[in-house]
Amino acid sequence: MRFDVLTLFPTMIDDYCSQSILKRARENNIIEVNTINPRNFSLDKHKKVDDTPYGGGAGMVLMAQPFVDAYESIDISNNSLTVMLTPQGKTFNEKMCVDFSNFEQIILICGHYEGFDERIRDIIKPFEVSIGDFVLTGGELPALCLIDSVSRKLEGTLGKLLSAEEDSFSNGLLEYPQYTKPRDFRGYKVPDVLLNGNHSEIEKFRKEESIKRTKLRRSDLLRNN
């Protein structure tokens, strides 16, 4: 999977993707992460990428030319998806994440502080994604959420350490409670069932706890099943 990220702050993307599990996934050629900075495509002598809005109003608007030219510089595969990160988009969820993991290439368009000139949407026609009903200062964190969650769906990313299938949401339920050593921490004890080595009892306990936790915290997930 190749991620091409259009961003005015490429180090934000590079830094995160150079650590831990994503670093290993890049080293193992499971994912490739490239950044393209629209500022490098600005035809303005001061490398301007934003300007005041026609019609007036507060703030600045990201200019169409640097973004569209930067986008058109990318080598686009015929199994690719172009995503614009914006609070106006469809809310990202686990199903979308699985669907996205089937593409060969995902191009991510990040704004910063201000809105996009509408002609960026008209020309590129991206699929617009929001990561929740709140507004961030830019699309970089949402893009990283998408890169991270999609990457962990790809075979080999998590290795033997973790299983994406056992995660919260992948079976439509929240994850059961987990414990590690010691057996007793400040009087809080590990449930006996996890200590007796009876795997079918352990599985039953975990399933019941998952359902209990989902009912209590996210009953909307059970209704959607």
Chain positions contacting ligand ADE, by CB under 6 A: 85-87, 130-132, 134-136, 139, 142
Nearer to ligand ADE, 66 or 139 (CB): 139
Instruction: Identify which of residues 36 and 144 has a Cβ nearer to ligand ADE in the complex.
Output: 144
Catalytic residue chosen out of the listed positions 2, 26, 152, 213: 152
Write down the least CB distance from residue 4 to ligand ADE, Å.
Answer: 17
Whether 119 is catalytic is no
Q: How far is the CB of 203 from ligand ADE (least distance, A)?
A: 37
Catalytic annotation present for 38:
no
Given 69, 114, 148, 175, the catalytic residue = 114
Q: Is 39 an active-site residue?
A: no
66 catalytic per annotation? no
Give min distance, CB of 140 to ligand ADE, in A.
9
- In this structure, the strands spanning 115-116 and 127-130 are unpaired
Choose, from 14, 167, 206, 218, the residue flagged as catalytic.
167
Nearer to ligand ADE, 113 or 179 (CB): 113
Task: Give me the least distance between CB of 6 and ligand ADE, in Å please.
Answer: 13
Which one of the listed residues 2, 14, 69, 87 is annotated catalytic? 87
Residue positions annotated with a catalytic role: 87, 114, 152, 167
